[in-house]
Structure 1
Amino acid sequence: MSQKTNQKQNIDTVTFEVLRSAYEHTADRMSTVLQRTSFSPIIYDMVDFSNAIFTPDVNLVGQTANCPVHLAAMHFSAEASLDEFGKDELDADDIVLLNDPYNGGTHINDVTWTQPIYDESDELLGFGVSRGHWTDLGGGGPGGQSWGTHLAEEGLRIPPTKIVEDGEINEALLGVLKSNTRVPQYIEGDVQAHRAALTAAKDELHRLERKYGAGTVRQGMHDVLDYTEERTREAIRKIPDGEYSAQDYGDCDGITKDSIYLDVTLIVDGDEITVDFEGTDDAVPGSVNSPKANTYSAVYYALKFFTDPEAPANAGMYRPIDIELPEGSWVNPNWPRPVIGCTTFAASKICAVIWQALADAIPDKIVAPTYSECNWFTVQQEDPETDAGYVWSDLPPGGWGGTPTGDGMETTADPLGNCMDLPVERAELLFPVTVEEREFITDSGGDGKHRGGLGLRETFRFHGYAELSVETSRTKEGSPGVNDGHSGGLGRLIKNHGMDDEEVIGGWKKDGDEWEMCLIGSEPFQPGESFTIETQGGGGWGDPTNRDLDAVREDVRNGMVSPETAADVYDVDVESE
């Protein structure tokens, strides 16, 4: 296929805006198709997927607002696919699949599909790229959450491979996929759903080609990238020049109880930012290491909040940002370090530490860190009535940090993904489980002039034997506040909450003298036993003594803040009033 690039042409303002919107609409349509046709609840209900279109030069130009942690990483996936086969070797009806964390992927569950799109003259018009989190691809624990010490324990690792060639499905690869999962019933449906999403991308770009011409479509892509770059550079110029540093940590790696530290220095110089991770801990034995693609993605979405978030979200934003990663660190590990927690555990800490560094640069604009987690757990369960086996996941949300203008959002998904937690009704309909409790946790938001959002307590009772693997953090200390705001509430994992045999299996025990590992693999639950997760609150913004006293009283009336905290922290004696 030809890769000829048309000479630059001028595009009028109206056509530019139409094309800019059309690139985003193309990705939106891909996501609508994927969500409506997939077989996996984690895709069709929890929205753990992303779709995008790329230029012929493999630059992201249109995306949906699904999982930010996927999007920049998909660039690495597309590049790896093209490095393996070459643009000249890919035909219009070929699709390349991969999930290899050390060859364009992130963690093994995130499966990426790349398809070239050609115009009517057989010249490359762009690429459609679709990524979805697949429920299970084997490994030592349900959903790959074994929390072991080798990548092989996390599931089937797939290098760039043609899943579709000349329009025909690769039956051998499909058989391998179905043979290496606990839920083969999802595989064929999800394969077809991703193919349909890529077909939607092709249809939309061809529609634009018929209306405007292929050259205009390609030129519009380049212009949109330049436009975002210009707006991003202008936003960076508003950040004072200087070096701004911060440190944060993850609670453990699932092997030892040692904290894992993350150091970052932001160097702002005119219209460019360097993000330097020098001083960050080396790669760890456990499964929270972050491959390069994942780390880059986390940096970009963390900065997007404060570098013109209204600008079109595309690869033009990446141009003024330089990222320096120490080789062999836990944000740039080498094979075979395990990585299953990279998108949920590591990415959220990368975002949090960047926000804390920015607090020194733009204190009047910064937002306090969110609960900085995903609280991802996966259950392998038997139905006691039918003996059927299931694997299902959930992503219980926590609180966002306080802002310069108001309190943080209560129990909202972390910035790493605009995902949904599993709806209670869906969980009880599809799986042998009852959700017994789902409520805000009083006092879990970090105190501040603007307090952090509240965390969530949710209890699941299993009707059949179950094994649970879970990843969480912020169980040693809460998410930090900024500008003298206080930390948010802690996360905790509990077996049989409120019963005589209640046991804290992750986080601090009630007496506060003993801390249990917060990454758990294949914890057994007998029929009738329950699992409770207490999610974390967001950090507070500003000195709590400056909080509006009527807001404190309202929080007490709504059960957000206890009378004791109102009196001790905010000096409001609600009971006497």
Structure 2
Amino acid sequence: MTDDSQRDDVDPVTLEVLRNAFATVAEEMSANLIRTSYSPNIKERKDASSAVFDARGRMLAQAENIPVHLGAMPHSVRTVVETFEGAFEPGDTVIHNSPFSGGAHLPDITFVSPVFVDGTLVAFVANRAHHADVGGSLAGSVSADATSVFAEGIQIPPVKLFERGEVVDGVLDLLTENVRTPDEREGDLRAQQAANETGRKRFEALIEKHGRETVEATADRILDYSERRMREEVHDLADGVYEFADALDSDGAGAEDVTIRATVTVDGSSVAVDFAGSAAQVAGAVNAPIAVTTSATYYALRTVTDPDVPPNQGCYRPFSVSAPEGTVVNARKPAAVVGGNLETSQRIVDTVLGAMAAAGVRPMAAAANGSMNNVTFGSADSSLADPYTFYETIGGGYGARPERDGVDGVHAHMTNTQNTPIEALELAYPLRVERYALRPDTGGAGEFRGGLGIRRDIRVLDHDASFSLLSDRRRNRPYGLDGGQPGAAGADRVVIDDEERLLDSKTTLELSGGDLVSVRTPGGGGFGPPEDRSPAAIARDLEEGRLTAEHVAEHYPHYDGK
């Protein structure tokens, strides 16, 4: 680390102006990507992220998008930079999605574009977006029963999709020939390119206004500043070794209680997180590449430190992450990984935060619902004029915190997406949403109640469809803290020919017109002993329908109705 207090090559005003300018470039890239995309998954749910990197591939700034994208994106950019070192030209864009060389899972395609000024490479701009289909065995490419990455879609090593500003037709054709919805995919891919073009132009304008030497020197200063701020935060944590373990319900292929174990060592100004003792990689699709594990760990540590520390490569320098190769948190090819990015990332967060709670870090929230509750529908009827793939994640309860109830019905932790509005869903797909509501009684009881889960019922209209549910916390409930009780587990159902049955947390089904799926997500954990909850808060929850009288009688027996 360079002691930026001893440097005088950049004045503080310029530093602050350019720090915010880098962040603004990333934010404008994301806004352009979302605005110009084709699929509801990106346009409505905003399942995409953008960031700005220096010429060495160090992240300078990120937009406030999806945590699981942003912490892992530097791995992808580093792979691209190393692969094409010395071979970049103005107007190039390299794409990449390989989970075992810096990627996360196959639906997340990363675009990396160099920025040149007067023939000199000065920066990279990058974005990542979740595509609603990238091929594989199941429409939507989020298959709960995949047992190999080869069943999950097309794997893209670093390759130029745009060369000197022109699309490489052969590469684009290769991609669109391997997906079920080629027009939508091409539209989203071109939206990603448009976002990077926005980033290029804005960064070039910064160089023109401030000069290359000033911008480069400021970039170094910003990274050092974030590192110093983060090390000061870590110094405030109690030195020690803290352990915690949690588990995924299953892998969807026969393994149950898939353990994730973290040992967190706080030593002065650094934090080391070791995942030794975690389960070996499994047959099912919940294996996480190391980039995902690193991303989730960084996120968890950021939540217990000052959120105003600028999010860039510098703020991660005090953190180190290790995980034995061949485990569920550092999987080897050809492991199935789509759920590692979606579900295992959430459990890694729960595990690291559990260790920090054991370290006495406060304020700390109880466990959130702990699942992205991934739902995928795709047309299976070749008579449909317009085949479709629909993917979304569904929120749940957030964990209760000291002095405050958990938030009801939100996306938590590694996902920061929005919901798909019912109107947009029904306009784009032959599906109908018949119920969308909070689930009463699902927040863990406590002095402060956990947030409530969600119920979302979707009916297939007049066609056959494939369906996949990739979820968790249907058996192992989200933990409470300081005497708070766990949140309720999720409990999903399907109705076929008027017969209702419970679904496993990782399920793939073939549905017919008229069949209905009811996704019911977990609640968040409670905080503090339930007997300390105020009667006024209980009365309010009863009046608003968040709690039933039966639940109150069981969990809050001190309540006398007054």
TM-score after normalising by structure 1 = 0.93
Q: CA RMSD in A?
A: 1.6
From 136, 139, 156, give the equivalent of 2:136. 139
CA deviations over 1:257-309 (Å, ceiling 9, x no partner): 51200000111111111101111011111111000111111110111111211
> What corresponds to 2:256 in structure 1?
258
Quote the residue 1:514 is aligned against: none
Verify the 8 A CA contact 1:445 1:540 in the aligned structure 2.
yes
Structure 2 match to 1:355: 353
- 1:433 CA displacement: 1.1
Q: Is the 8 A contact 1:495 1:532 kept in 2?
A: yes
Contact preservation (8 Å) 2:248, 2:476: no
1:160 partnered with 2:158: yes
Deviation, structure 1 residue 384: 10
1:57-456 aligned at under 5 Å gives the runs 57-86=56-85, 88-120=86-118, 122-146=119-143, 147-381=145-379, 387-456=385-454
CA distance in 1, matches of 2:33, 2:518: 32
Give 1:386 deviation, angstroms.
5.2
Deviations 1:407-457 (A, max 9, x none): 111111121121012111111111111111111111100111111100001
**Contact residue 483 and residue 527 of structure 2 kept, 8 A:** yes
Report the equivalent of 1:539: 525
Matched-pair contact (CA < 8 Å) for 2:249–2:258: yes
Deviation for aligned residue 1:24: 0.6
Stretch moving more, 183-192 or 351-360: 183-192
The equivalent of 1:511 in structure 2 is none
Work out whether residues 23 and 62 of structure 1, in 8 Å CA contact, stay in contact via their aligned partners in 2.
yes
Q: Distance in 2 between the 1:179 and 1:525 partners?
A: 26
**What is the alpha-carbon distance in structure 2 between the residues aligned to residue 289 and residue 72 of structure 1?**
17
Structure 1 distance, partners of 2:68, 2:355, is 20
Q: How does 1:42-57 map to 2 (within 5 A)?
A: 42-57=41-56
Query: What amino acid is the match of 1:565?
Result: H
Counterpart contact for 1:563–1:573, Cα < 8 Å? no
- Aligned residue number for residue 492 of structure 1: 491
Once the 2 structures are TM-superposed, how far is the Cα of residue 405 of structure 1 from its aligned partner? 2.5
- The whole-number CA distance in structure 2 between the counterparts of 1:385 and 1:427 is 21
Q: Do the aligned residues in 1 keep the contact of 2:249 with 2:472 (CA within 8 Å)? A: yes
> What do residues 119-146 of structure 1 show as CA deviations (whole Å, max 9, x unaligned)?
23x3222110111111111111122233
Secondary structure of the structure 2 residue equivalent to 1:89: coil
Amino acid at match of 2:225: Y
| Distance in structure 1 (CA, Å) of the matches to 2:304 and 2:117 | 37
Q: Is the 8 A contact 2:57 2:81 kept in 1?
A: no
- Structure 1 unaligned residues grouped into runs of 5+: 1-7, 507-517
The alignment partner of 2:71 has SS state of helix
Equivalent positions of 1:474-553 (< 5 A) are 474-496=473-495, 500-506=498-504, 518-521=505-508, 523-553=509-539
Report the 3-state secondary structure (helix = DSSP H, G, I; strand = E; otherwise coil) of the residue aligned with 2:499: coil
For the 8 Å contact 1:108–1:340, the answer to whether it is kept is yes
User: Residue 383 of structure 1: CA displacement?
Assistant: 7.8
Q: Deviations over 1:69-90 (max 9, x none)?
A: 111211111111122111x210
Equivalent-residue separation in structure 2 for 1:132 and 1:466 (angstroms): 25
Question: For each residue in 1:321-355, what CA deviation from the matched residue of structure 2 results, as whole angstroms up to 9, or x when unmatched?
Answer: 11111121110111111101122111000001111
Q: Which residue number corresponds to residue 3 of structure 2?
A: none
CA distance in 2 between partners of 1:124 and 1:22 (Å): 19
1 CA distance for matches of 2:381 and 2:543?
42
Q: 2 CA distance for matches of 1:226 and 1:183?
A: 45
- Give, in whole Å, the separation in 2 of the partners of 1:74 and 1:82: 12
Counterparts of 1:500 and 1:90 in 2: how far apart (Å)?
59
Answer whether contact 1:281 1:330 (CA < 8 A) is retained.
yes
- Residues in 1 aligned to 2:153 and 2:8: alpha-carbon distance in whole angstroms: 48
**Conserved in 1, the CA contact under 8 Å of 2:95 and 2:159?**
yes
- Matches of 1:118 and 1:399 in 2, distance apart? 46
Give 3-state SS (helix, strand or coil) of 1:288's partner: coil
* SS state at 1:189 partner: helix
**2:201 corresponds to which letter in structure 1?**
D
Tell me the secondary structure at the aligned position of residue 322 of structure 1: strand
Paired AA for residue 531 in structure 2: T
Aligned to 2:4: none
Q: Quick one: distance in 1 between partners of 2:447 and 2:218?
A: 45
Q: What CA distance in whole angstroms lies between the structure 1 residues aligned with 2:271 and 2:222?
A: 21
Letter in 2 for 1:167: G
How far 1:222 sits from its partner (Å)? 1.3
What is the match of residue 548 of structure 2?
A: 562
Is the Cα–Cα contact under 8 Å of residues 9 and 216 in structure 1 kept in the other structure?
no
For 1:551 and 1:96, locate their aligned partners in 2 and report how far apart those are by CA, in whole Å.
54
Secondary structure of residue in 1 paired with 2:113? strand
Instruction: Identify the residue that residue 31 of structure 1 maps to in structure 2.
Output: 30
3-state SS of the aligned residue for 1:174? helix
CA contact (8 A) 1:566 1:572 kept: no
Greater displacement, 27-36 / 256-265: 256-265
Query: Is the CA contact 1:378–1:469 (under 8 Å) kept in the aligned structure 2?
Result: yes
CA deviation profile, 1:495-524 (whole Å, cap 9, x unmatched): 129x84111122xxxxxxxxxxx1112x01
Structure 1 distance, partners of 2:246, 2:533, is 27
Query: Any idea what the Cα deviations from partners look like across 1:338-386, whole Å, max 9, x if unmatched?
Result: 1011221110000011111111223531111111110111101268995
Matched AA of 1:483? D
For the residues of structure 2 that align with 1:544 and 1:236, how far apart are their CA atoms?
33
Contact kept in structure 1, 2:538 and 2:559, CA below 8 Å: no
SS in structure 2 of the partner of residue 47 of structure 1: coil
Q: Is the 8 A contact 2:252 2:285 kept in 1?
A: yes
Distance 1:483 1:476 in 2: 22
For the residues of structure 2 that align with 1:264 and 1:144, how far apart are their CA atoms? 30
Q: Which amino acid aligns with 1:265?
A: T
The one-letter amino acid of 1:126's match is A
Distance 2:52 2:231 in 1: 23
| Partner SS state of residue 524, structure 1 | strand
Unaligned runs of 5+ in 2: 1-6
8 A contact 2:531–2:556 mirrored in 1:
yes
**Equivalent residue for 1:513?**
none
How far is 1:564 from its partner?
Answer: 2.1
SS at 1:66's partner residue? coil
**Residue 4 (structure 1) aligns with:** none
Instruction: For 2:458 and 2:382, locate their aligned partners in 1 and report how far apart those are by CA, in whole Å.
Output: 16
